[in-house]
Amino acid sequence: MAAATRAMAVAGQTTSCLLSKRPFTLKHKPHFGNLCFSNKRVVLSSKRLFSCSAIYNPQVQIKEEGQPETLDYRVFFTDNSGKKVSPWHDIPLHLGDGVFNFIVEIPKESSAKMEVATDELFTPIKQDTKKGKLRYYPYNINWNYGLLPQTWEDPTFANAEVEGAFGDNDPVDVVEISQTQRKIGEVLKVKPLGVLAMIDEGELDWKIVAISLDDPKASLVNDVDDAEKHFPGTLTAIRDWFRDYKIPDGKPANKFGLGNKAANKDYALKVITETNESWAKLVKRSISAGELSLV
């Protein structure tokens, strides 16, 4: 369904807005000023820094198709009725009070390179391929890794703060540092601590560093300084891991902007807001989606 049609369909429905935290009803057709929406519902925002939430918030289930570590393997998300939904578009980003949803693609201490298939219907998680072969990291990743829903790194936008690098055309990546190994497709409530500006073959590939709220140390960790105190060496280890993981395949090391170190929580929130706005433009087709699936 076209974005405009989807938005018009919600007129008259009761919805809620994180800015006011009070229900309101759309009396007229929504305009397309500053808004974010999922396939189902829409939230209007009046401030650039307001990262809005999808109202459509199903209790998602996981449905596997095919066998793990095969080309056919897919992890779909369904709502309680069994209908497929997109983890990228339909799961809300913002939960309020600085808490965000995070979708696990790669559990810590594993090496299969899993990712949301942004060009397939309902954007399931699959194992990445190269030249028809399944991709693996050369060694295990030491943290839970995945994405922030309803974000997008715009490949037409050159970031002047990070060497003019263009976005990588994907949702924003998250490195989640809690102690527990998670499962593919698990949705966690996390809070950002900082962000690394990785530059991968000239493309900007943000890495939000976050922690799940259910980690025993979560209440102690709120910014990069706290991360250094309670998880000593972790930020450096994350940077070095992502800098070097392609070297065994004969590729050069990745680079990092912003002084080659993790920027603080405020900067991470800025990145999340900007990429959420880019996603909103994508799904309302203000920007060409190319081969990306908006379903």
pLDDT digits (tens, 9 = 90+) for 260-275: 999 999 999 999 999 9
Cβ burial, residue 197 (10 Å; 0-12/13-18/19+): buried
Structural tokens at position 172 = 């924003």
Length of the chain: 295
Is 34's pLDDT higher than 90? no
**190/279 Cα distance (integer angstroms):** 20
Is 57's pLDDT higher than 50? no
Is 24's pLDDT higher than 50? no
H/E segment holding residue 244: helix 234-244
Quick check: helix, strand or coil at residue 78? strand
Q: CA-based Rg of the chain, rounded to a whole angstrom?
A: 19
The topology under which CATH files domain 61-270 is Inorganic Pyrophosphatase (3.90.80)
Query: pTM here?
Result: 0.82
**Which of 3, 1, 96 lies closest to 57, judged by CA?**
96
**How are beta strands 158-159 and 165-167 bridged, if at all?**
antiparallel
Question: pLDDT (tens digit, 9 = 90+) per residue, 119-167?
Answer: 999 999 999 999 999 999 999 999 999 999 999 999 999 999 999 999 9
**Lowest mean pLDDT segment, chosen from 9-23, 50-64, 144-158, 279-293:** 9-23
Residue 22: pLDDT band (50, 70, 90) is very low
Is 35's pLDDT higher than 70? no
**183/121 Cα distance (integer angstroms):** 22
**287/273 Cα distance (integer angstroms):** 17
Is 28's pLDDT higher than 80? no
**Which of 58, 52, 24, 23 lies closest to 40, judged by CA?**
58
- Mean pLDDT, residues 66-78: 98
End-to-end Cα spacing for the chain: 8
Residue 125 near residue 185 (C-beta atoms within 8 A): yes
Which of these is catalytic: 56, 136, 137, 245?
137
Phi and psi of 177, rounded to 5°? -100, 10
Q: Give the position of tokens 């028809």.
A: 132
Residues contacting 178, CB < 8 A, separation 6+ = 144, 211, 212, 214, 215, 218
Residue 59: pLDDT band (50, 70, 90) is confident
**92/272 Cα distance (integer angstroms):** 13
- Mean pLDDT, residues 84-95: 96
Question: pLDDT (tens digit, 9 = 90+) per residue, 198-211?
Answer: 999 999 999 999 99
Q: What is the mean pLDDT of the chain?
A: 85
Residue 88 near residue 150 (C-beta atoms within 8 A): yes
Looking at the chain, the whole-number percentage of residues with pLDDT higher than 70 is 80
- Mean pLDDT, residues 43-65: 54
**Which of 58, 30, 60, 59 lies closest to 42, judged by CA?**
30
**Which of 131, 136, 221, 122 lies closest to 179, judged by CA?**
221
Alpha-carbon dihedral 174, 179, 183, 185, rounded to 10 degrees: -30
Q: Which residue has the higher pLDDT, 8 or 162?
A: 162
Quick check: helix, strand or coil at residue 130? strand
**Which of 85, 74, 127, 153 lies closest to 294, judged by CA?**
85
Is 178's pLDDT higher than 70? yes
- Mean pLDDT, residues 4-11: 31
**269/265 Cα distance (integer angstroms):** 6
Give strand pairing partners of 134.
129
Q: Is 245 tagged catalytic?
A: no
